Chain A
Amino acid sequence: GAGVSQTPSNKVTEKGKYVELRCDPISGHTALYWYRQSLGQGPEFLIYFQGTGAADDSGLPNDRFFAVRPEGSVSTLKIQRTERGDSAVYLCASSLQMQDTQYFGPGTRLTVL
C-alpha cells in the first residue's frame, strides 16, 4: 500500500515568510510524528499526534512553529516568520498505534534564504 507522503518535496523561501508543510500518513495510522533533520545529524523530534490531539509538542523550538491534524489524518506543520536557522529536512512518520513501528516519509527540504 501507499507509504507516508509529504509535500512539497522542496521549499525555498525568504527570511520572514510563512510556510506550510503537509504530511499524509499511511491510511489507518492513528499516530503521526514530525521530526527535523539538520545536515550531518540524526532526526530530532518536534511533535506527535494521537488522533487529532497533540500528545507531545515538547520538541517545537519556539512559538513560531505550530502543527495541526484536524481530522486525525493529514497534518500540516506551520512555520511563521521563517529564519535561516529553520533550514533543514522536515520528516513525518506515522504508526498504527503509538507503540508500533514508525514509518517515515521522504521529507520536505526547507531552505530559508
Chain B
Amino acid sequence: GIQVEQSPPDLILQEGANSTLRCNFSDSVNNLQWFHQNPWGQLINLFYIPSGTKQNGRLSATTVATERYSLLYISSSQTTDSGVYFCAVSGGSNYKLTFGKGTLLTVNP
C-alpha cells in the first residue's frame, strides 16, 4: 500500500514564528488531506489538496503531486496551533486514507 512519511516528528516554536511541515508519499494520490488533532482528540480538517496550492488565513498548503510531497505552512504561530498535524492520502481506485505518524507542534507563549 501507499506509504506516508511526515517530518519533522516534533517541532517547538515561540509564538509568532513560522513553520513548514512536510509530507512525502510513495505513489500517485487521488486524495490528500491535512488535519490538526486538538488536545481533545478531534481531527479538524485543514485542507483537501491532492494537487496545487491553497490558503486559509495563516495556513497554506502546497502539493506537488509529480514529486510526491506536500507542505503545510503555518505563519505567525499561536499557542492554539499546538497539537498533532497529520497528513493522510489515498491512491488509485481506493479512497481509504493512510495517515502519516504526524508532527507534534508545541507553540510556547
Contact = CB atoms under 8 A, between A and B. Distances in A.
6 contacts: A41-B101, A43-B99, A102-B33, A102-B97, A104-B43, A104-B45
A31 interface: yes
Contacts of A98: 95
A42 B96 contact: no
B42 A106 contact: yes
A103 B35 CA distance: 10
Nearest to A89: B41
B43 A91 contact: yes
Interface centre among A43, A48, A56, A103 (most CB of B within 10 A): A43
Contact of B98 (A33, A41, A45, A103): A45
Interface residues of A, number: 27
B23 to A, nearest CB: 11
Interface string A95-113: 1001111111011010000
Contacts of B96: 33, 45, 48, 56, 58-59
Interface in B54-109: 86, 88, 94-102
A101 B31 CA distance: 8
Contact of B102 (A35, A42, A101, A109): A42
A106 B40 CA distance: 9
Contacts of A14: none
8 interchain residue pairs of minimum CB distance: A42-B99, A104-B43, A101-B48, A45-B96, A98-B95, A43-B99, A106-B42, A42-B86
Nearest to A50: B95
